[in-house]
Structure 1
Amino acid sequence: MPSPSAFRPSAPAWLACLCCTVVVTLSGCGNDEEPAPPPPRIVLVENVQEAHPGPQTLRFAGVVESVTTTQLAFQVAGRVERILVDEGTRVTRGQALADLDTTDYELQLRDASARQQQLHADLVRKRKLLAEGILAPAAIEPLEAALVSAQVARDTAARQIEYGQLTAPFDGVVAQRLVEPDMVVDAGTPILRMQDNQHIEVSVDLPESAALTVPLGPELKAQGQLVLADEVTLPLEYREHSTQPRDGARTYRLVLRGNPPADYNLLPGMAMRVSLQRPAPEPRDDSYLLPISALQAGPDDQHHVWLAVDGHARRQPVQLQGIEADRAQVTGPFEADAAVVVAGGSKLSEGQPIKTRQRN
């Protein structure tokens, strides 16, 4: 049987075991220490505001048009003797614009007048014979019909002479001369093109979104600004609009009317910026205004913002209603004076500690 001294470890072995035990113990004590938490992220916040939307100004491109553009023509055929106005001339209603050579119509008038006088004299003599019983009533009936025909021919010739002068049907501007003197023209051949310069019309193509909400009627508020002269502005009023979209486009034609400025020649075809007033929509109880920088978009195209709640970030889903200037109108449940993160929110996570600073 071995002696007890056979199982007693030697001094070097016992010392080695003790050192290992101390090392293991110290190592275990070191793992019990937790790493220090990261410092809170500094973010800028701003209090939410209830949305009280006002009237919105919509701007579109417009084109100046003349209210009335008329092609003027003689009502009889003939040779153009004179054109009395140049292009661009302002004329008044009834002013003479052009003359025809009426020599042929004057000869017809003289002939018809002479025939009328002759027939009238014959009729007077035969009526005396009728009264004396020499002639029967049937003898003068053809003469009476011939006299009426001569009177009609005389009046027709006189009317054709009047038609030999072209006059302005309204106050306006001679836009274009279409013929020259000594040209022989038929009745109805355009001689001059004339435009009404007392008023102007401006046409605008409205997209569907604007046509849905803009008041298309006398209550519409509009203003025009000439593209080539920013200082030229004039109020415009509603005239008419189309109820059918233009071919190949989902736009509707709106026509506005205004008075041209006295110091500028506002001509058809000129470009104009048109501002329309869209009425303020009915406010919603859950509608708020936020800086655009506060909006965050997720991978599902859903918007959200980060709120600062008790020193931590809290994700708040919102519905985007519209954007105006640097503000976004959203709907969502917000508490009064809730602090929304407007800068530094792109890398936040739910419950992350944050340190807020109010944006000036």
Structure 2
Amino acid sequence: MKPSKRLIRAASLCLALALAGCGEPEREAAQPVSRPVKLFTLGETEAARTLRFPGSVSAVKQSDMAFEVSGRIIDIPVTEGQRVEAGTVLARLDPRDYEAERDRARAERNAAQVELKRYEAAFKARAVAAQELDRARRNLAVAEANLRQATKAIEDTVLRAPFVGRVARKLVEDFANVQAKQPVLILQSDDAMEMRVQVPEALWIRSQRVDSAADIEEINSQIRVVLSSLPDQPIAARITAFASMADPVTRTFRVTVGFEPPAGSSVSPGMTGHVAYDLPAGTASAGLHVPVDAVVAAPDNTPFVWLFDAQSSTVKQHPVTLGELSGDSVLVTSGLAVGDRIAVSGVHTLSDGFPVHALED
């Protein structure tokens, strides 16, 4: 009697299990292969990095030029971008109404002078009282004041540059009617520029104390302005003003730095850049700078880096606290120490305990 197909299959399964039991032991789970990564060592020099504070260029002197009186513009002899000397006529109003007012005030002044002379003669002849003479003198004083005011109004119909500068922008059209104090054009100095930056309080509290002019000079020797359009031409700069009270919203301190544009360059207000400040030797910064590429965001958006363990040649997730961003580096205010080594490549493919080794350049 032939065995059934079911019995044949069962026998085959038992044989296979027996052979498997007699074979080689089950291999252990494959271990990840050590991966080459770039490692960044936080050295002693990192504690004295150059701090960078972004900002934009503005003119040291800027004025929204406006007439002191109202009227219709009859001439704007300057153009945008034109450089003007102090006293140059920038715009003129129609002066006819003010000239008429001046002529009226002059006539009243002349009449008051004649009246005063008549009262003085009458007072000498004892024909009028002293009170009448005093009234004539007051009338003359009022008439002279009105004439001065009317004369000044005519002078105010001519708008002149108060300093050497450049016409940055015209704000009204030719022959427009303008009100007193209404800006007509913007005048900016072009021989000196400044940049205003915001210094975080964490860095401000560790900055040099300013107690004298010598302290300012020492700080000035350590700062410079770097324009985005001229990254390879740092410009010597100096602190011209700084706030001693933090902004209540941003908790930063405003610092104004003045500089003179390099010869042959066309530096204009509105250009962007940063102020670089070299911390003095031996001065501890508010933290350590690490490459931006080394920082990763956890699922809850908390920042961390992959800290390298030399003994096990593995990396582990290490939380950090971040400060200001400076170009391609970011300030780490806590979580790392000098001498730590962190991964700066392949950071999005690593995991806790992953074996790595230094990538040779």
Question: What is the TM-score of this pair, normalised by structure 1?
Answer: 0.60
- Aligned to 1:130, the other structure's residue is in SS state helix
Query: Do the aligned residues in 1 keep the contact of 2:198 with 2:252 (CA within 8 Å)?
Result: yes
Equivalent residue for 2:50? 57
For 2:229 and 2:185, locate their aligned partners in 1 and report how far apart those are by CA, in whole Å.
Answer: 29
Query: Do the aligned residues in 1 keep the contact of 2:67 with 2:180 (CA within 8 Å)?
Result: yes
Q: Deviations over 1:7-40 (max 9, x none)?
A: xxxxxxxxxxxxxxxxxxxxxxxxxxxxxxxxxx
Equivalent residue for 1:103? 96
Equivalent residue for 2:155? 162
Closer, same or farther: CA 151–232 of 1 in aligned 2, 3 Å: same
Query: Do the aligned residues in 1 keep the contact of 2:122 with 2:128 (CA within 8 Å)?
Result: yes
Q: Deviations over 1:148-200 (max 9, x none)?
A: 22212211111111111112222222211112232222211111112222321
Percent identity between matched residues is 28
**1:121, distance to aligned residue in structure 2 (A):** 2.2
5 Å-filtered alignment, 1:67-146, equals 67-146=60-139
Q: Deviations over 1:307-351 (max 9, x none)?
A: xxxxxxxxxxxx96326999xxxxxxxxxxxxxxxxxxx79xxxx
Closer, same or farther: CA 296–229 of 1 in aligned 2, 3 Å: farther
Equivalent residue for 1:173? 166
The residue type paired with residue 149 of structure 1 is: V
Q: Is 1:244 aligned to 2:251, yes or no?
A: no
Equivalent residue for 1:322? 338
For 1:69 and 1:259, locate their aligned partners in 2 and report how far apart those are by CA, in whole Å.
Answer: 16
- Aligned to 1:188, the other structure's residue is in SS state coil
For 1:282 and 1:134, locate their aligned partners in 2 and report how far apart those are by CA, in whole Å.
Answer: 89
The residue type paired with residue 281 of structure 1 is: G
Closer, same or farther: CA 137–229 of 1 in aligned 2, 3 Å: closer
Equivalent residue for 1:191? 184
Between structure 1 and structure 2, the one with the greater Rg is 1
The residue type paired with residue 263 of structure 2 is: A
**1:206, distance to aligned residue in structure 2 (A):** 3.5
- Unpaired runs of 5+ in structure 1? 1-49, 284-291, 303-318, 327-345, 348-360
**1:52, distance to aligned residue in structure 2 (A):** 8.3
For 1:213 and 1:72, locate their aligned partners in 2 and report how far apart those are by CA, in whole Å.
Answer: 41
Q: Is 1:224 aligned to 2:231, yes or no?
A: no
**1:75, distance to aligned residue in structure 2 (A):** 1.1
Closer, same or farther: CA 208–240 of 1 in aligned 2, 3 Å: same
For 2:188 and 2:129, locate their aligned partners in 1 and report how far apart those are by CA, in whole Å.
Answer: 62
- Aligned to 2:258, the other structure's residue is in SS state strand
- Aligned to 2:338, the other structure's residue is in SS state strand
Comparing 118-127 with 64-73, greater Cα deviation is found at 118-127
**1:226, distance to aligned residue in structure 2 (A):** 2.0
1:149 corresponds to which of 142, 150, 158: 142
Query: Do the aligned residues in 2 keep the contact of 1:60 with 1:274 (CA within 8 Å)?
Result: yes
Equivalent residue for 1:213? 206
- Aligned to 1:230, the other structure's residue is in SS state strand
**1:130, distance to aligned residue in structure 2 (A):** 3.2
Query: Do the aligned residues in 1 keep the contact of 2:48 with 2:283 (CA within 8 Å)?
Result: no
5 Å-filtered alignment, 1:248-259, equals 251-259=252-260
Coordinate RMSD, CA, aligned: 3.7
Query: Do the aligned residues in 2 keep the contact of 1:54 with 1:279 (CA within 8 Å)?
Result: no
The residue type paired with residue 121 of structure 2 is: K
For 1:202 and 1:161, locate their aligned partners in 2 and report how far apart those are by CA, in whole Å.
Answer: 39
For 1:233 and 1:192, locate their aligned partners in 2 and report how far apart those are by CA, in whole Å.
Answer: 32
For 2:164 and 2:188, locate their aligned partners in 1 and report how far apart those are by CA, in whole Å.
Answer: 8
Number of residue equivalences: 256
Query: Do the aligned residues in 2 keep the contact of 1:246 with 1:253 (CA within 8 Å)?
Result: no
Closer, same or farther: CA 125–324 of 1 in aligned 2, 3 Å: farther
Query: Do the aligned residues in 2 keep the contact of 1:216 with 1:238 (CA within 8 Å)?
Result: no
Equivalent residue for 1:201? 194
**1:235, distance to aligned residue in structure 2 (A):** 0.9
Query: Do the aligned residues in 1 keep the contact of 2:242 with 2:256 (CA within 8 Å)?
Result: yes
For 1:325 and 1:169, locate their aligned partners in 2 and report how far apart those are by CA, in whole Å.
Answer: 59
